[in-house]
Structure 1
């Protein structure tokens, strides 16, 4: 066998070949033929014959895993072993052993948003700067951004909006057949078009992938907008924007059946125009834009 042929065979495979045929051929001959030294082969045999130092702990991990009906992750397995056997194993060790055993909890799927990169680019997270304090002294201080879905006979349509918390005006919105970052960016650009830089706008959003994307980070930086993120699963952190969606659904969507995407665009555009220009707010006794024009 030539040098190139030997090079294509993994070193471990060569050691296993020598070990397999050691009774039929002299080790020196097979070693020379496969291009490995005898000392390296003998060192390999010592490693192979050495007992697995993790064997006992692996058995404990497997026992806990099976007793939990394969639902436990590494933290619960650590607790179970300590409770049932009085043995404390570091949770990082339990995780390493589970990976060696190729087992994981069947109760949870892998979360793609825990990866460093997702389909929208690198993940950016932001602190919850508003802390449910939605009070403002004027326009373009605090905004809210969110996404909802609209049912049509041909499937779902998605709507992204930007709302100014000062006067309630919907500054920008966009609809799409997909829950995409492009839809969010389109709504943001529409809202930011009236800003005069520099600006001190804070924009509240949830922790959706669109709002954690590099594109969203770049766009908000471009317009001098500071992102703020709600706590996970806490819709009250963006209550004013959620309130608009409630009005949209109660005053429009639950009373009509929408045929397709084109009709959804028409009816939503029409409602947002009504909401901004004609719908009187009880707090101010003015429409959002009437109140806004007193300050802008």
Structure 2
């Protein structure tokens, strides 16, 4: 067992004053040479409960159970008693409408102002109020604040068209305040604010068959922009005629860097998308599936001219190209199914796709990007 350390009264008083000023306990310990942080907590407890006389007690001696302090002189005793009385009287001076019945709102707000110096027990004793009553009043005081939080979460969910789950809503809230993700999850579940997504379907996997080497091997991490790109074509069955979207996604920023909308799933569709890529870094990898448009001579020729390394998924393995598959799923779910745009005009389909890609790149946050949009993340990466 370690040797007990005795601290002078001046050290105890200074530690309490520093803590009341908001100085961290660790900093107080370093400055005053205090070895145990529990010691500071004990002194603060004595101070709040009006037991300042215990600052004088020797190590190992307790001034409880009927034994009071042994003061060196009468002046020291009067000084300690006056400090205790001052602590008892100061909160009363702050009471709204002194001498009349205290309103519960005022009572709670007054305690919030003096809670660093007075315990709940001592504060309630001054006004002859049961602690259970105080806690009931305090809980009632929190209800309006809870409603403000509910309204804020509801507003965020609505502004993002209920495409964000509780993790993303929490990330947005934490930009302005401290909040626990469990609180956000509970509120969203209680008030029906959960993310509205389409049920995901499992696709049957097949045996691997290589056209070009799979350089990614499901490693979708990148260390710089345009280092790894993924591409694919998706069918848009929402308009008056069939439409197809060919898009290319940067795995570093999760940004859609090129896309083309066409009415034919042919080589020209993917070539138009590929030609939108201008300056690419050396060693850039572009990953696709084994579709006929990607294995065509014209496509491979364009890849070679841009000095891009071609990579392909195994046949029947959409998981090898999961990032672009995920984007296309989000586009259809959040852009079309959520708004019931399943039978509209061709012009509206094209407009919806363009607006969603703009939203996806510039506004929609992603947790893996530190709760930033791809555009925000790319700007910070450039700095």
Aligned residues: 170
- 2:287·2:313 contact (CA, 8 Å) conserved in 1? yes
1:1-27 CA-partner distances (Å, limit 9, x unpaired): xxxxxxxxxxxxxxxxxxxxxxxxxxx
Offset of 1:180 from its aligned partner?
1.3
Q: Secondary structure at the match of 2:301?
A: helix
Counterpart CA distance in 2 for 1:139 and 1:162 is 13
Counterpart CA distance in 2 for 1:260 and 1:200 is 42
1:55-83 CA-partner distances (Å, limit 9, x unpaired): xxxxxxxxxxxxxxxxxxxxxxxxxxxxx
Aligned residue number for residue 280 of structure 1: 365
Question: Does 2:216 correspond to 1:130?
Answer: yes
Question: Does 2:246 correspond to 1:160?
Answer: yes
Structure index of larger Rg? 2
Unpaired runs of 5+ residues, structure 1, are: 1-123
Counterpart CA distance in 1 for 2:239 and 2:299 is 31
- 1:177·1:261 contact (CA, 8 Å) conserved in 2? no
- 1:143·1:201 contact (CA, 8 Å) conserved in 2? yes
Aligned residue number for residue 145 of structure 1: 231
Counterpart CA distance in 2 for 1:160 and 1:287 is 22
Offset of 1:161 from its aligned partner?
0.5
Question: Does 2:354 correspond to 1:269?
Answer: yes
Aligned CA RMSD, in angstroms, stands at: 1.6
* Superposed structure 1 runs of 4+ greater than 4 Å apart: none
Aligned residue number for residue 345 of structure 2: 260
Question: Does 2:308 correspond to 1:222?
Answer: no
Offset of 1:181 from its aligned partner?
1.1
1:80-108 CA-partner distances (Å, limit 9, x unpaired): xxxxxxxxxxxxxxxxxxxxxxxxxxxxx
Q: Secondary structure at the match of 1:154?
A: coil
1:192-240 CA-partner distances (Å, limit 9, x unpaired): 12x24x5211111000000001111111112111110100000010011
Question: Does 2:259 correspond to 1:173?
Answer: yes
Counterpart CA distance in 2 for 1:178 and 1:260 is 17
Q: 1:258 to 1:172 in 2, by over 3 A?
A: farther
What's the TM-score once normalised by structure 1's chain length?
A: 0.55
- 1:172·1:187 contact (CA, 8 Å) conserved in 2? yes
Counterpart CA distance in 2 for 1:152 and 1:282 is 30
Offset of 1:295 from its aligned partner?
2.4
1:111-164 CA-partner distances (Å, limit 9, x unpaired): xxxxxxxxxxxxx93111111111111111111000100113423210010000
Q: Secondary structure at the match of 2:321?
A: helix
- 1:199·1:223 contact (CA, 8 Å) conserved in 2? no
Counterpart CA distance in 2 for 1:292 and 1:226 is 23
Aligned residue number for residue 209 of structure 1: 292
Offset of 1:294 from its aligned partner?
2.1
Aligned residue number for residue 20 of structure 2: none
Q: Which has the higher contact order (CA 8 A, sep 6+)?
A: 1
Counterpart CA distance in 2 for 1:223 and 1:242 is 24
Offset of 1:258 from its aligned partner?
4.8
